């Protein structure tokens, strides 16, 4: 086994363990912290693929922005034990069976349709910032512009939701 | 193997210098405040009170370890640890001086020259929010929670304007690597040969510098943006419940952040280790020493500027702070970026 | 890989320092410092009288809104970085593409401000 494989397996194990801890930890704040560590594992994978820009963007956007939002919501909604919805055993069993069959279907359908390209046929520098920018602003310039319309829609949605709640009494 | 040893030595010395700078910033802060207020400041421990930081740090070790009853023990301890960790990691991509020849090899005074250097700093900056948020929430104290939520809102708001300013600088340089940004500034200002070594970005981007400086103040939670710890309404802010070394870590992290911010400002706006007349020095070892000294002079100047601002300006109100960050700095930064782009394309 | 290894070493050093210092003070203060507990002392500090209610309470929706807007604008700003690196080679064509993106960004920004989503003072 080469050094690359050892690094890969280490990172993969780290990511999977952290991701399962997200699900298994009782405290939602701990879940968020484990999710941040999962993000770091994924960023490590990007780094090992020589995609430094994607790795750092992954950290800035997911760990630095989206997880902050998660943490805000979880910390301030006060999800403690009393407010946690209790489900009966039958509900839990049904959820496990339903989720499991969905996963099986997805795996089966992905296996037959998606053929991943072989790694060494791709330019290994594509994850660096310069080639990425060139591709983004020449080949994919139209999707890039359309994504800004998507952002606009998201902004309008966020503001509308935020404004509707404004009439309620607010602390602070 | 030589490479690993060389880098390890560099890493340990940068880490040590960071800690010493942070320790003596606390001393400098007190002396400088005393000077501005016509007092003496610490003067009992050693000459000019120079041993005061050691006394303070030693005291931290032996204070009672206090954890309130209703707080989350693990997160309560993890909070200051995260704050310290994120603060110490940012120094990795700063070029402290030019390359020099020693022991038959070229040694670079930069821990890692990853080609996304400035984004690496932004990444760890955005992670800095967690130390404050987790500590504030885990304390289970109302003041701490208020402070944590205020501080994190403030930090994320000012990150945007900071990011746009960095884009402006990257447009001028064409690289995200701090090393390239510094080397770009070693040329002659406005192509006048007499001004060689003075091709600093500040002379092209004065507005960007002011915006960046403001954002840096807000990111470090320094006055006039220290709403996270405004004593009169929030007692001690997010570290109200903290004691002993955990409190020390929070305070230390703030000073380390200030040191790193000053370094980044000196690096991207004030030419890093470049100084006029550096081409006259032939000896490579002497040049390196001079360059590092000049960089540290610039850093100390900015640390003192941070302190001067702290002891001069009163604190902002929260709505003024948000107003300034979102409605003034972000539009200004975007306009600055567009004008820069248009001017560069036109010439 | 040569650029990543030093980062890992530094992360290890800093992490070690943080963990050792936090645990070290924990034990040092156990040995040398005092450790007294009482019902009143172990309470969270509030203002001297008995604590009222839980410290974790819902706060103004403004903070959530700021966080959501930050996520959106942050992603948009990230898109500028690949452009900025290639800025000089792209020339006017690339600048026009950026201008269009920025104008939509500013439209959204104007909408947010016009709607008063960032007004903090109660008038």
Cβ–Cβ of A171/C70 closer than 8 Å?
no
Q: Which two tokens stand for residue C115?
A: 């709607």
Burial group, residue B208, by CB count within 10 angstroms (0-12, 13-18, 19+): buried
Interface probe, candidates A56, A132, A137, chain B, greatest B C-beta count within 10 A: A56
Residue from the list B60, B114, B341 with its beta carbon closest to the beta carbon of C3:
B114
Report yes or no: B57 and B329 within 8 Å, Cβ to Cβ.
no
Q: What does DSSP assign to residue B239? A: G
Say yes or no to pLDDT of B304 above 80.
yes
Chain segment A79-115, per-residue pLDDT in tens: 655 556 667 788 888 988 999 999 999 888 877 776 6
- Which of A22-36, B94-108, B305-319 shows the lowest mean pLDDT across its residues? B94-108
What is the least distance, in Å, from the CA of A163 to any CA of chain C? 7
Cβ–Cβ of A64/B129 closer than 8 Å?
yes
Give the number of domains in chain C.
Answer: 1
Please compute, for residue A131, the number of CA atoms within 13 A of its CA located in the half-sphere on the CB side. Answer: 11
A29 touches chain B (CB under 8 A): yes
Distance separating the N- and C-terminal Cα atoms of chain C: 56
Chain segment B282-300, per-residue pLDDT in tens: 777 788 888 888 899 999 9
B residues 135-174 closer than 8 Å to A (CB)? 137, 145-146, 149, 152, 156
The domain limits of chain A are 1-84
C61 compared with B334, residue with greater pLDDT: B334
Q: Which chain B residue is nearest to residue A75, measuring alpha carbons?
A: B137
B42 in a structural domain:
no
C15 in a structural domain:
yes
Domain A1-84 sits in CATH at 1.20.120.1200
B residues 18-77 closer than 8 Å to C (CB)? 60-65, 68-71, 77
Q: Which H/E stretch holds residue B262? A: helix B244-268
Chain B contacts of C118, Cβ < 8 Å?
322-323, 326-327
Average pLDDT, chain B: 85
Mean pLDDT of C27-48: 74
Say yes or no to pLDDT of A166 above 70.
no
% of chain C beyond a pLDDT of 70: 90
C98 touches chain B (CB under 8 A): yes
CA atoms C9, C15, C20, C21: torsion sign: positive
Cβ–Cβ of B123/A60 closer than 8 Å?
yes
Chain A contacts of B114, Cβ < 8 Å?
52
Cβ–Cβ of C104/A162 closer than 8 Å?
no
Q: Which residues pair with B188 in a beta bridge?
A: B196
Distance separating the N- and C-terminal Cα atoms of chain A: 58
Report yes or no: C68 and A162 within 8 Å, Cβ to Cβ.
yes
B214 to B132, B162, B178, B303: CA distances (angstroms): 20, 9, 21, 14
C100 touches chain A (CB under 8 A): yes
Say yes or no to pLDDT of A127 above 60.
yes
The backbone torsions φ and ψ at residue B100, rounded to the nearest 5 degrees and listed phi first, read -145, 160
Please compute, for residue B180, the number of CA atoms within 13 A of its CA located in the half-sphere on the CB side. Answer: 16
Report yes or no: B156 and C72 within 8 Å, Cβ to Cβ.
no
Average pLDDT, chain A: 81
Q: Which chain B residue is nearest to residue C38, measuring alpha carbons?
A: B69
% of chain B beyond a pLDDT of 90: 14
At B256 the pLDDT is 92
- Greatest mean pLDDT among A74-88, B15-29, B42-56, C83-97 lies in B15-29
Say yes or no to pLDDT of A13 above 90.
yes
Say yes or no to pLDDT of A38 above 60.
yes
C44 in a structural domain:
yes
What does the alpha-carbon distance between residue B242 and residue B218 come to, in Å, rounded to a whole number?
A: 23
Q: Which residues 6+ apart lie within 8 Å of A123 measured at CB?
A: A131
Domain of residue B312, residue span: 67-346
B39 in a structural domain:
no
The backbone torsions φ and ψ at residue B243, rounded to the nearest 5 degrees and listed phi first, read -145, 180
Q: Which two tokens stand for residue B186?
A: 């070693």
Chain A contacts of B133, Cβ < 8 Å?
68, 71, 75
Give the number of domains in chain B.
Answer: 1
Beta strand pairing call for B105-107 and B100-102: antiparallel
Cβ–Cβ of B137/A75 closer than 8 Å?
yes
Q: Dump the DSSP string for B293-307.
A: HHHHHHHHHHHHHHH
What is the least distance, in Å, from the CA of A52 to any CA of chain B? 7
What does the alpha-carbon distance between residue B128 and residue B228 come to, in Å, rounded to a whole number?
A: 14
- Which of A80-89, B63-72, B100-109, C47-56 shows the lowest mean pLDDT across its residues? A80-89
% of chain B beyond a pLDDT of 70: 99
Domain of residue C26, residue span: 4-114
Mean pLDDT of B85-95: 89
- Which of A145-159, B115-129, B289-303, C20-34 shows the lowest mean pLDDT across its residues? C20-34
Interface probe, candidates B88, B155, B323, chain C, greatest C C-beta count within 10 A: B88
Interface probe, candidates C66, C82, C98, C107, chain B, greatest B C-beta count within 10 A: C66
Residue from the list A64, A134, A151 with its beta carbon closest to the beta carbon of C76:
A151
B residues 31-50 closer than 8 Å to A (CB)? none
Q: What angle do CA B289, B179, A58 make, to 5 degrees?
A: 135
Q: What angle do CA B255, B119, B134 make, to 5 degrees?
A: 50
Report yes or no: B298 and B270 within 8 Å, Cβ to Cβ.
yes
Q: Which two tokens stand for residue A102?
A: 């969905």
Q: What angle do CA B261, B263, B265 make, to 5 degrees?
A: 70
What does the alpha-carbon distance between residue C99 and residue C106 come to, in Å, rounded to a whole number?
A: 10
Chain segment B213-265, per-residue pLDDT in tens: 999 998 888 878 887 777 677 777 787 778 778 888 888 888 999 999 999 99
Residue from the list C7, C70, C85 with its beta carbon closest to the beta carbon of B92:
C7
Q: Which residues 6+ apart lie within 8 Å of B1 measured at CB?
A: none
Distance separating the N- and C-terminal Cα atoms of chain B: 48
At A16 the pLDDT is 92
Q: Read off the CATH number of the domain in which C52 is found.
A: 1.20.58.1610
C107 touches chain B (CB under 8 A): no
Q: Which chain A residue is nearest to residue C84, measuring alpha carbons?
A: A133
What does the alpha-carbon distance between residue C104 and residue C96 come to, in Å, rounded to a whole number?
A: 13
How much of chain A is in helix, strand and coil states, percent to nearest 5?
80, 0, 20
With a threshold of 0.95, tell me whether the complex ipTM lies above it.
no
Chains that touch A (3 or more CB pairs under 8 A): B, C
CA atoms C66, C69, C75, C80: torsion sign: negative
Chain B contacts of C102, Cβ < 8 Å?
334, 338
What does the alpha-carbon distance between residue B256 and residue A166 come to, in Å, rounded to a whole number?
A: 39
At A42 the pLDDT is 92
Rg value, chain C, Cα: 26
- Please report which confidence band the pLDDT of residue B318 belongs to, taking 50, 70 and 90 as the band edges: confident
Q: Which H/E stretch holds residue B102? A: strand B100-102
- Please report which confidence band the pLDDT of residue B64 belongs to, taking 50, 70 and 90 as the band edges: confident
Q: Which two tokens stand for residue C6?
A: 């030093």
What is the least distance, in Å, from the CA of C67 to any CA of chain A? 6
Chain segment B150-183, per-residue pLDDT in tens: 888 888 889 999 999 999 998 888 888 888 888 8
C60 in a structural domain:
yes
Say yes or no to pLDDT of B61 above 80.
no
B316 in a structural domain:
yes
Chain B contacts of C95, Cβ < 8 Å?
341-342, 345
At A172 the pLDDT is 47
What does the alpha-carbon distance between residue A5 and residue B53 come to, in Å, rounded to a whole number?
A: 47
Interface probe, candidates B79, B121, B126, chain A, greatest A C-beta count within 10 A: B126
Q: What does DSSP assign to residue A79? A: -
What does the alpha-carbon distance between residue A67 and residue A60 come to, in Å, rounded to a whole number?
A: 10
What does the alpha-carbon distance between residue B133 and residue B131 come to, in Å, rounded to a whole number?
A: 6
Cβ–Cβ of B72/A29 closer than 8 Å?
yes
CA nearest to A133, candidates B98, C80, B64, C33: C80
Interface probe, candidates A155, A165, A168, chain C, greatest C C-beta count within 10 A: A155
């Amino acid at each position: 086994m080469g050094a690359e494989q050892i690094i890969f397996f280490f990172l993969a194990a780290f990511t999977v363990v952290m991701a399962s801890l997200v699900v298994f930890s009782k405290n939602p704040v701990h879940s968020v912290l484990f999710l941040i560590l999962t993000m770091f594992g994924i960023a490590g994978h990007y780094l090992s693929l020589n995609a430094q820009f994607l790795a750092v963007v992954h950290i800035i956007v997911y760990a630095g922005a989206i997880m902050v939002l998660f943490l805000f919501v979880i910390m301030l909604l006060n999800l403690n034990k009393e407010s946690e919805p209790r489900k009966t055993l039958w509900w839990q069993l049904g959820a496990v069976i339903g989720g499991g069959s969905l996963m099986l279907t997805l795996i089966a359908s992905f296996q037959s349709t998606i053929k991943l390209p072989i790694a060494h046929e791709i330019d290994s520098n594509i994850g660096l910032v310069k080639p990425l920018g060139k591709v983004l602003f020449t080949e994919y310039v139209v999707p890039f512009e359309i994504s800004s319309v998507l952002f606009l829609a998201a902004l309008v949605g966020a503001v509308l939701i935020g404004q509707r709640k404004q009439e309620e009494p607010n602390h602070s | 193997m030589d490479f690993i040893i060389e880098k390890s030595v560099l890493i340990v010395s940068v880490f040590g210098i960071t800690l010493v700078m942070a320790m003596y910033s606390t001393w400098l802060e007190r002396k400088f405040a005393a000077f501005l207020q016509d007092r003496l400041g610490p003067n009992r421990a050693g000459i000019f009170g120079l041993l005061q930081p050691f006394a303070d740090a030693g005291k931290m070790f032996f204070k009672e370890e206090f954890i309130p009853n209703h707080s989350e023990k693990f997160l309560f301890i993890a909070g200051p640890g995260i704050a310290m960790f994120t603060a110490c990691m940012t120094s990795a991509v700063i070029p402290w001086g030019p390359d020099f020849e020693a022991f038959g090899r070229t040694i670079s005074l930069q821990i890692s020259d990853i080609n996304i250097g400035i984004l690496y700093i932004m990444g760890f900056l955005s992670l800095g929010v967690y130390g404050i948020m987790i500590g504030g929430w885990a304390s289970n104290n109302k003041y701490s929670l208020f402070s944590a939520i205020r501080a994190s809102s403030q930090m994320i708001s000012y990150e945007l304007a900071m990011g746009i300013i960095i884009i402006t600088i990257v447009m001028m340089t064409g690289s995200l690597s701090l090393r390239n940004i510094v080397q770009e500034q070693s040329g002659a200002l406005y192509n006048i040969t007499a001004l060689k070594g003075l091709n600093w970005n500040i002379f092209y981007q004065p507005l960007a510098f002011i915006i960046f400086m403001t954002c840096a103040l807000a990111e470090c939670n320094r006055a006039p943006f220290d709403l996270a710890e405004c004593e009169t309404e929030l007692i001690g802010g997010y570290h109200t419940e903290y004691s002993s070394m955990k409190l020390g870590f929070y305070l230390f992290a703030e000073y380390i952040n200030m040191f790193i911010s000053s370094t980044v400002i000196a690096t991207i706006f004030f030419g890093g280790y470049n100084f006029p007349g550096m081409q006259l020095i032939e000896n490579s070892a002497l040049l390196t020493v001079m360059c590092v000294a000049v960089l540290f002079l610039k850093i100390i100047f900015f640390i003192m500027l941070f302190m001067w601002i702290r002891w001069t300006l009163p604190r902002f109100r929260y709505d003024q702070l948000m107003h300034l960050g979102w409605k003034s700095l972000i539009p200004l930064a975007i306009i600055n970026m567009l004008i820069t782009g248009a001017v560069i394309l036109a010439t | 890989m040569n650029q990543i290894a030093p980062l890992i070493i530094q992360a290890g050093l800093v992490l070690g320092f943080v963990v050792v210092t936090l645990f070290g003070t924990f034990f040092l203060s156990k040995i040398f410092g005092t450790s007294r507990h009482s019902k009143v002392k172990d309470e969270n500090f509030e203002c001297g009288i008995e604590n009222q209610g839980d410290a974790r309470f819902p706060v103004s929706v403004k903070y959530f809104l700021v966080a959501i807007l930050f996520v959106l604008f942050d992603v948009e700003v990230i898109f500028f970085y690949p452009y900025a690196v290639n800025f000089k080679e792209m020339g006017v064509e690339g600048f026009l593409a950026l201008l269009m993106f920025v104008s939509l960004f500013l439209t959204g920004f104007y909408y947010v401000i016009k709607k008063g989503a960032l007004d903090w003072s109660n008038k």
